[in-house]
Amino acid sequence: MMFEGSWVALITPFDSEGRIDEDAFRALIRRQIKAGTTGLVPCGSTGEAATLSHEEYRRAIEITLEESRGDVPVMAGIGTNATWKAVELAREAESLGADALLVLAPYYNKPTQEGLYQHFRMVAHETRLPIMLYNIPGRTAVNAAPATIARVARDCPNVAAVKDAAGSLDQTSETLALCGPRFAVMSGDDSLTIPMMSVGARGVVSVVANVAPKETRALVDAFKKGDARKAAALHLKLFPLVKALFVETNPIPVKAALGLMGLCRPEPRLPLTPLSDAARPALKKALKDFGLI
């Protein structure tokens, strides 16, 4: 699998009873496919995977696979702080038909670099699927160092990429230098997609693509084709929207945005709460300025 382009970190919509809103979820996925999104990522942090029951986790992946119909790759999120559970989830996602796995660095435990290596290695050895590591120290409280990522990639042939949300171009550059051309780095921060691609990243796993999938794909495509002027213009157009979508903890604002667009209910699941009244005007302005409402 080629990890490149614009992948969307899908939200998980809930209905008025707090259950997965399957109709809204299917419509959101179809919207992504129609817009040309490269790949679909259910059950990540944007999808509130940490609050889904096991049955909901399975169902979210099943729905994504049903709607993708094999035309768009599906990368299932594997986010847990227990290695044995990550292995079980990886096996389950593979059995359901997922095309790849996004394996999160364990949160809360704060493992050492050796612990991170052993965690990723064990998951990789228990599946045949290609794996993208997910490094987001702001949520996990641990940073997977470039040397650790390179060690995992060297010892596990199916570990082919990292979603880099560490927020450091120095770290991105070091990861690319250590891992070599076989290994793909994908931006995990929408505001850093062009800077990261300028040093060798191949695309983005995006939050803003939930609301602006065509423009996110167009930005990545323009940069890949060498049209830096067009890519920069799209970046500057998207930037106010990106900032508005992170005015509170993700995915609170993006769900509120999709609610304002009439695409799903805006409520996240506790302990996340709906967007505050103080943050709502800025989000509405960004959506209006972009032409989404």
d(CA 191, CA 5): 15
Per DSSP, the residues of 157-206 read TTEEEEEE-S--HHHHHHHHHHH-TTSEEEES-GGGHHHHHHTT--EEEE
Selecting among 34, 163, 255, 288, the annotated active-site residue is 163
Selecting among 57, 107, 117, 134, the annotated active-site residue is 134
Q: How far is CA 68 from the centre of its chain?
A: 17
Q: Is 214 a catalytic residue?
A: no
* 3-state class percentages of the chain: helix first, strand second, coil last, to nearest 5: 50, 15, 35
Q: Is 134 a catalytic residue?
A: yes
Q: How far is CA 218 from the centre of its chain?
A: 18
Pairing of strands 75-78, 100-104: parallel
**Active-site residue set:** 134, 163
